[in-house]
Amino acid sequence: MKEMKCVHTRRVANLMKAFLNDACDLLTADGEVVEIMLHKCECFQADIVENQSEYDELDIYYNLDELFAESSKIFRAYWVERCPMLKGFSDVTISLLHELGHLETNDEIRPDFPVAMREIALMGIEERFDNDVDRNRMYFALPDEKAATEWAIKWLSDAENRKKAKTFEKKFFACFERA
């Protein structure tokens, strides 16, 4: 993504939050749709909790500067190679859906890949690989990372969802100017 300057930060945050909440189909213990809360942070990430059904809201964090980082380019290249359809969507759309995918797949992934196992795998990746491309490729192949992106791909495979994503992107990028 070419570097751009956000001129409507509050509007961008509201658009991302609305997009995530529209895409989310998680339910609380009472059968209500979980609300996704969005927070500015140093990176894109989902706040994984042990038992999501106990929560009325879940958190996703974002950093728009990360969209221009080298790791974003590596992430995009890795997944577009596996699913060429993603080429038609922006990094922010893929990143947001990927983070939502963590929440959407958490209950299925954690029994076989608990957080402690993930931490051990992350340490192994850091120790074994000294370049960003190989390190990131191994990271993207972790079971929870793969499941999150595959959830995003599945969501985007629906024609109605692709329209929602394109509508979001149009509104999102209207809030930016070329840097």
Q: What is the pLDDT of residues 78-115, one digit of tens each?
A: 999 989 999 999 999 999 999 999 999 998 999 999 98
Give the predicted TM-score (pTM) of the model.
Answer: 0.93
pLDDT category at 56 given cuts 50, 70, 90 is confident
Q: How far apart are CA 158 and CA 2, in angstroms?
A: 28
pLDDT digits (tens, 9 = 90+) for 115-167: 899 999 999 999 998 888 899 999 999 999 999 999 999 999 999 999 999 99
10-32 CB burial, b ≥16 within 10 A, e <16: eebbebbbebbbebbebebeeee
| Mean pLDDT of all residues in 6-35 | 94
Q: Which pLDDT belongs to residue 1?
A: 65
pLDDT category at 17 given cuts 50, 70, 90 is very high
Backbone angles phi, psi at 93, to 5 degrees: -65, -50
pLDDT category at 178 given cuts 50, 70, 90 is confident
Q: How far apart are CA 63 and CA 55, in angstroms?
A: 24
Could you tell me the residue ranges of all domains in the chain?
A: 7-170
Order of strands, sheet of 45-46, starting from the edge strand that comes earlier in the sequence: 35-40, 57-62, 45-46
**Which residues 6+ apart lie within 8 Å of 37 measured at CB?**
17, 57, 58, 59, 60
